[in-house]
Amino acid sequence: MVCGENLTETAGFAEEELLGYLQRMVKDLPENYHVVFSVDENLFPEGQNDGYRVQMEETGGRITGNNERSLLLAVYDYLHFTGCRFPLPLAEYEIVPCIGREKLRAAYEKQASFYHRGVCIEGADSFENILNYIEWLPKIGFNSFFLQFQTPYAFLARWYEHLENPYEEEERYTPGDAQRDLRLLERAVKKRGLLLHEAGHGWTGEALGYHTVSWDLQDAVPDAGVVHRMAMINGRRSLYKGVPANTNLCYHNADAVDAFAELVTAYARQNPQTDYVHVWLADDYNNLCECPECRRTTLSDQYVLLLNEIDRRLSEEGIRTRIVFLLYQELLWPPVAERLKNEDRFVLMFAPISRTFEVSYMSEESGEEVAGRIPVFQRNQIVLPTKLAENMAFLKGWQTVFGGDGFVYDYPLGRAHYGDFGYIHMARVIYGDIQKLRQMGADGYISCQELRAAFPNALPDYVMARALFDSRCPVDEIIREYSMACYGEDWEKVTEYLENLYVPGGCDYVNGKGPRRNAEIAAQMERVKQCCVDFGSCLARHRTSSGGWETIFWEVLAYHKRYVELFSETLRLFSSGEEEAAGAEWETLRELICKNERKYQPFLDVYRVLEVTQRYTGLHRQQGKEEI
């Protein structure tokens, strides 16, 4: 096969991938099989979204993309066309059929529905987890990856230190290790031509002299020369609850603004591989500076002034890196007086972290598809909005003062998904959200989520990727295709079972929303347990004669059934007010998933589900049982 002239590493990788898969799939592939790869930026004059044209015959053909990333996307889409399926971020479980040469013929073109289509790292991850996920992204149609902080130390250290799992021996992992791994991960992202997002959290801590690569407490006393940069709260300037990443600055203070702006400028200068630098403030709320000067304005007005200063410095140096600014917590309120001067530099990122995941955007119970009203801002006394109409009001407010590029940054697989045992409800919510993006004025979606979110399977991610690339594809068609690939002839029974595991209100309940005593939740959890019992006969049919399982998908489903039985009973007891009994059941669940974490490590983020059920759901270890 031959690539066109002047194409980079991504095109060469696309060629290697196509040839490698076809050699596995087609036994009589001609020795002179020849495919030409080329880039035509004007392939789709109406827009810059990823797009490609595939023209293939039995002896070869041509793949044209409107950028080099699109060549790789085209290769994976063509492999999908010929029967390949990529159901998990694990190459060993891909489905690669044997086909005849006649099935190589194809002639079609596609362009993505949205420009921004990606995932942001969360949870506890090994280096291999992250690398495998990056490799999977373009296979299902994503084009972006976001590594939070200036290195992903926080997420890697959680895994290697084995937080929450006493059965695993702690492994040493340092910020230096994270810096080394970061460069390898960046290289994997750029090899695939993916858009690289970085930073976000940590700037405020860095401006105070702390190397901020996590949300960890900091024991070191701040240098006396930077205390004046800190937000004043209750008459005192100090680290907020001891966490630099959660500490706001006094944004009226010229020295604080200068230090912050210089940090971002230096980062962009030193990291030209980064396509989007995220500039965020403290990752906590109701902790704004209360000095008289800050009280005279709003945080969002101060934020815009800071962003304009960063833009000025980047422009002076000829740095074209895009800056992503965040609508989150106090920054949900739009600025009153200030405006971004160079809109082309900036990308709006709407992050409704406190929303419900029981329904999709603009689908409140009333059926009204209108935004609510923005509540009056009260410094250090805000309440985060949960209703979707309330969240939409903030977005519309910002869009009246900013007309540039923007996307939604949401959390469907960050916490609430643990309340949807079968993942089909969450997949449908994600699909519904994507259907509303255009109406919301957003050109895409990045999911802040656990990478190990494939329990019982990775359907939500798969639906997300497919719908972001082609929003016209019906969700039932995507679910059918995915389930057939995983479960074969019994796919309909599995789908029905997983749909029945959804508990109305369960996502919100696990995510800490609503009263902890809830008779309806308790009754629904009892029903879920019976669903698991009823599904046992279907599972049994997929045992092999040696006692194992036909495929990894059935094996994980069997393990997942035991997990759901324990989890649903835990929540039944807890929502009934039987907290001691719920704690005992939760200990049994914890023992199950901790002991089996190594075996099913890529599928379930044990650290995260245990953290969420303690911090948000309200479950706790029994007194005297700090360890299992």
Dump pLDDT digits (tens) for 515-557: 999 999 999 999 999 999 999 999 999 999 888 999 999 999 9
Angle made by CA atoms 31, 36, 42, in degrees to the nearest 5: 165
CA distance 47 to 286: 41
Least confident residue range of 2-6, 339-343, 444-448, 613-617: 2-6
Angle between helix 68-81 and 9-25 (nearest 10) = 10
CA distance 500 to 525: 11
Handedness of CA 531, 534, 536, 541 (dihedral sign): negative
Handedness of CA 382, 384, 386, 392 (dihedral sign): positive
pTM for the whole thing?
Answer: 0.96
Q: How confident is the model at residue 363 (pLDDT cuts 50, 70, 90)?
A: low
Q: How many CB atoms lie within 10 A of CB 360?
A: 18
Residues 6+ apart with CB under 8 A from 79: 18, 21
- The answer, yes or no, to whether residue 368 has pLDDT greater than 90, is no
Integer angstrom CA distances of residue 26 from 32, 61, 210, 412: 14, 16, 56, 39
CATH code for the part of the protein at 116-486: 3.20.20.80
- The answer, yes or no, to whether residue 319 has pLDDT greater than 70, is yes
The pLDDT score that the predictor gives to residue 432 is 97
Query: Which of 1, 62, 63 lies closest to 32, judged by CA?
Result: 1
Q: How many helices (H) and strands (E) does the chain have?
A: 20, 15
CA distance 573 to 581: 7
209's tokens: 């002299």
The pLDDT score that the predictor gives to residue 622 is 65
Compute the CA torsion angle 84, 89, 90, 94 (nearest 10 deg).
Answer: -10
pLDDT digits (tens, 9 = 90+) for 21-47: 999 999 999 988 999 999 999 999 888
pLDDT digits (tens, 9 = 90+) for 161-219: 999 999 999 999 999 999 999 999 999 999 999 999 999 999 999 999 999 999 999 88
Q: Decide: helix, strand or coil at residue 9.
A: helix
Query: Which of 176, 192, 148 lies closest to 450, judged by CA?
Result: 148
Q: Where are the domains of the chain?
A: 2-111, 116-486, 490-617
Q: How confident is the model at residue 564 (pLDDT cuts 50, 70, 90)?
A: very high
Cα 476 versus chain centre, distance: 22
**How many CA atoms does the CB half-sphere of 375 hold within 13 Å?**
16
Q: How confident is the model at residue 2 (pLDDT cuts 50, 70, 90)?
A: very low
407's tokens: 């996307």
CA distance 76 to 55: 14
Segment 510-519 shows an average pLDDT of 97
115's tokens: 């420009």
Handedness of CA 419, 421, 552, 587 (dihedral sign): positive
CATH code for the part of the protein at 2-111: 3.30.379
Contact predicate 315/281, CB 8 Å: no
Percent of the chain at pLDDT > 70 equals 96
Do the first three CATH levels of 2-111 and 116-486 match, i.e. the same topology?
A: no
